[in-house]
């Protein structure tokens, strides 16, 4: 099974970076309420990208066995649809350095902390 199928099996959405739109996220947000958008697409630095992917392992978003497959997919955006704020914030907080590559959307709009 390829990494995108594995992610879909885990109830995530695997999307190409160039196909992801605010409208698409907005529609998912209306359906689920809370969306985490995890941008692990290509970066300026391969070491930076690897550190973000490793952070997903520490946050229990992906398994250690999936790291190489995620690294190989340079256009991958992982969208995690959730129904409750508590689960969304728990996942966000468990991902080291999430503020650098994870965006939370609430009810179809980007979440901005006050």
Q: Is the full-model pTM beyond 0.85?
A: yes
pLDDT score of 95: 97
pLDDT in tens, 22-44: 889 888 888 899 999 999 998 88
Residue 60 is predicted with a pLDDT of: 96
Instruction: Give the pLDDT band of residue 113 (cuts 50, 70, 90).
Output: low
- Residue for token pair 């190989």: 72
- 102-109 average pLDDT score: 92
Q: Residue 93: which H helix or E strand, with range?
A: helix 85-94
CB 99 within 8 A of CB 37: no
What DSSP designation does 20 have?
-
């Amino acid at each position: 099974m390829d990494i995108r199928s594995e992610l879909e099996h885990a109830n995530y959405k695997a999307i190409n970076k160039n196909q992801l739109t605010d409208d698409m996220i907005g529609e998912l947000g209306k359906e689920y309420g809370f969306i985490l958008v995890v941008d692990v697409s290509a970066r300026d630095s391969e070491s930076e990208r690897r550190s973000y992917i490793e952070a997903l392992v520490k946050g229990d978003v992906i398994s250690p066995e999936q790291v190489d497959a995620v690294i190989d997919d340079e256009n991958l955006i992982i969208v995690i649809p959730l129904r409750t704020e508590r689960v969304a914030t728990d996942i966000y907080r468990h991902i080291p350095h999430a503020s650098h590559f994870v965006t939370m959307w609430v009810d179809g709009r980007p979440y901005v902390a006050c």
